[in-house]
Every structure is written in structure tokens, then in C-alpha cells.
Amino acid sequence: MTTSTVPKLRKAIKRQSPGLHFERELWSQGLEIVAGVDEVGRGSWAGPISVGAAVVPKDRRIYKVRDSKMLHEDEREALFDRIAGWVEAWAVGHASHWECDRYGMSEAQRIAAGRALAGLGMRPDIAIIDGNWDFVGGRTKKIVRGDAVCLSVAAASILAKVTRDRIMRRMAIRFPGYNFENNKGYNGPHHVAGLARLGPSPIHRKSWAFMDTIPEITEPRYRRPDPQGQLFD
């Protein structure tokens, strides 16, 4: 799914533009390489958790970038190539459904973040993180709702969201019946109906509490000491 022209911004989000205030503040402190970091997929029942990282340039801007959650799917897809061509560097790291089960969501998020930063091809002086906890390590700046107010985090959020959505659309072809092409692995009536009819697919997170609700499943829930599936994006 690729769109060459970015649709006109809807009035509801036109004024909610993230800026470079935080990046400029850090650049002024001598921190040259500033990476925005954001995650997607933490609350999904299936598929990977994905973390995007983006290093935006100081001297060039593009417009219509917003928090990925504010945009429709076609808007995110249309922005993807523009953002990828604009940033100095970007990468998306993933932790698989198996790693989410085996290590727990917090550690899986750290694994995905480490892979994203390693994929940049440059070592950030600091990472700006969306949210109020540090899943990156090293020198970081945490910003609640960072994807709505910080341009590099917003760019990372779109790159991560589109990349993961594309993965889940491919998974919908491999594992039909769960409506992955629309729900991207998140909870929804068609997803629940598919689980009741088919049981879990190979990419479902089998440590999560939803496994207890599936009748006549063919394999047991993977149980960890700490419960999974209680935290959402």
C-alpha cells in the first residue's frame, strides 16, 4: 500500500504539529546526534513489538508529520517514504512474539530499542523517548506524549507504525482468519472470533491472559512468573 501524495491534513489535527524545540535545546548543549524513539505493538496480542528511531536534520523540514496515532493508515503510508528520505538516519527494531513471551514486555521493548539504535549506523549522543520510563538506556530525555510534541519522536512513531503494520498485513496472508490485515494483532471482535474458531496462530503471544479465554485450544498458555497482557500502548 503506497500513496505518492500526502493527503491534505484534516482540520482536527492541522494545528497539532510537533516541533523541534526539544531537539534545538539539546543541539545547543553540544549534543549533535539526537534520536527520537517510539514503540508500537506493546498491547498487541500477536506479532512483534517494534521500536522506531529517527535522527532528523537541523536544516531541512517536512510538513504534515504528526503522532502516528492521529493519522489514518493511508496518511501514514503516504508520509513513510517522505520521512525516510528526509531524516539523517532511521531504523526500526523488533522483538518477536516469542521474545515477548520469553522475556516479558518490558525486556522485549528494550531489545527492540537496542536493535533500532544499532540499525541507525551512527551512535546517538542522546535519545528522546516517548513516555515516562527509560527503555533505551544511556543518555536519554523522556517526554510524555513526545510523539505529539517532538518532531523526531513523531517521525519515529510513523516509521515504526507503518513498518509493523506492513508486517502484520503479510502475516494476515500467512495466517488468515484473525483479521490481522485490519486489527494488526490487537484485540477486536473478528480477532476474538478467529481465536475461538482456530485457536492461537504461531505468532500469537501465548503468555498473555487472553489465552485463558480460548475454548478447546490445542496448546497451553505459556506462563511466566509476571503476568503478561495487562499493559497497552
pLDDT tens-digit map of 153-169: 999 999 999 999 999 99
Confidence of residue 19 (pLDDT cuts 50, 70, 90): confident
Residue 232 above 50 pLDDT?
no
Q: Decide if 162 is inside a domain.
A: yes
Mean pLDDT score of the chain, rounded to an integer?
A: 87
> What is the CB neighbour count within 10 angstroms for residue 188?
15
What value does the mean pLDDT take over residues 87-105?
96
Q: How many CA atoms lie within 13 A of 101 on its CB side?
A: 19
Asked which of 58-67, 133-142, 175-184 is least confident by mean pLDDT, the reply is 58-67
Residue 220 belongs to a domain: no
Residue 82, domain extent: 13-172
Supply the DSSP string of the chain, one letter for each residue: ---SSPPPPPHHHHT---BSHHHHHHHHTT---EEEEEEE-TT-SBS-EEEEEEE--SS---S----GGGS-HHHHHHHHHHHHHHSSEEEEEEE-HHHHHHH-HHHHHHHHHHHHHHTTSS--SEEEEESSS-SS-SSEEEETTHHHHBHHHHHHHHHHHHHHHHHHHHHHHHSTTS-HHHHTTS--HHHHHHHHHH---TTB-TTBGGGGG-TT-SSPPP--SS-BS----
pLDDT of residue 56: 94
What pLDDT digit, counting tens, does each position of 98-136 carry?
Answer: 999 999 999 999 999 999 999 999 999 999 998 888 999
The CATH number for 133's domain is 3.30.420.10
- Residues 6+ away with beta carbon under 8 Å from 118: 91, 93
Residue 77 is assigned to a structural domain of this protein: yes
CA distances from 116 to 92, 95, 145 (A): 5, 10, 20
User: Between 122 and 1, where is the model more confident?
Assistant: 122
pLDDT band of 31, cuts 50, 70, 90? very high
For the chain, the domain total comes to 1
Residue with the three cell numbers 500502548: 233
The predicted structure's pLDDT at residue 11: 53
pTM: 0.87
How many CA atoms are closer than 13 Å to the CA of 76, on its beta-carbon side? 20
Which of 15-29, 47-61, 63-77, 185-199 bottoms out in mean pLDDT, i.e. has the lowest?
63-77
Question: Is residue 6 domain-resident?
Answer: no
Tell me what pLDDT residue 145 has. Answer: 82
178-221 pLDDT, tens digit per residue, is: 999 999 999 999 999 999 999 999 999 999 888 888 876 556 66
Domain assignment of residue 141, yes or no:
yes
Look at residue 184 and tell me if it is in a domain: no
Residue 220's pLDDT is 65
Would you say residue 124 lies in a domain?
A: yes
Amino acid at 14: K
